[in-house]
Structure 1
């Protein structure tokens, strides 16, 4: 009942989704750090760490593919893209607050990459997204295939 050869996703689509996801994750951290520097009145490093460390903890506990708290794939994807949109909005607010309006294209780039990520997920029917359940299923199929090919005992004693 595994995926047929024709239903597998091309490596180009997988690489594109991986690059977009990585760029969005880094952009989210940059947006959070820039917002912290803009709105918090602490030393720059302290301001960035106050926001970035909890964001990294939230990401590793809930949203990463190997998260401690296991969410359904659809729930995790909706939450991830909601966080990306919030990150783009926060980046827009912090850039507008500082007055550097020539950099307002960065939130638009982040929103565009979020839309591209959603389109890639829909085009591949979610197969580009790494998910632990799919990895466990593939490992179980490999173990099952190994057990089927293992030498089975035969003869008079095996019949007992």
Structure 2
């Protein structure tokens, strides 16, 4: 029996709820079915109000998703830490090399004029600056992915959405 004022019949509602139950988010399901997201969310909420087992299962799924999200973020942060340490080591080596070149030029061991020594300094500074910008871009990408995951998790317990996790190996590091 169709409710008064409802433009969707019971069969349509059941199909919409089945779509959400299959793992499609409320947002995506509503878009596919061309119905307001709030309408579908109300249907899901009404269906789930008395389903204690379903509520407990969804909470456990969310806990698992949050744990996986945290593990991925921790792995990526560790990877970024290793990359930052390697970059710092490279910068120290370049500084030492430049100091040796400057000393050799000053002592007359090599024939570089001061402008050439300064040019070498600028080249090294640009190189390390580029590496740091690439590292900064990678960190920004990781933060954006984490924000997207958190937003996805915060859609609501009834969303039933699936999350795609990125392993640290998939994060693009500029070598």
Q: Which has the larger radius of gyration?
A: 2
TM-score, with structure 2 as normaliser = 0.29
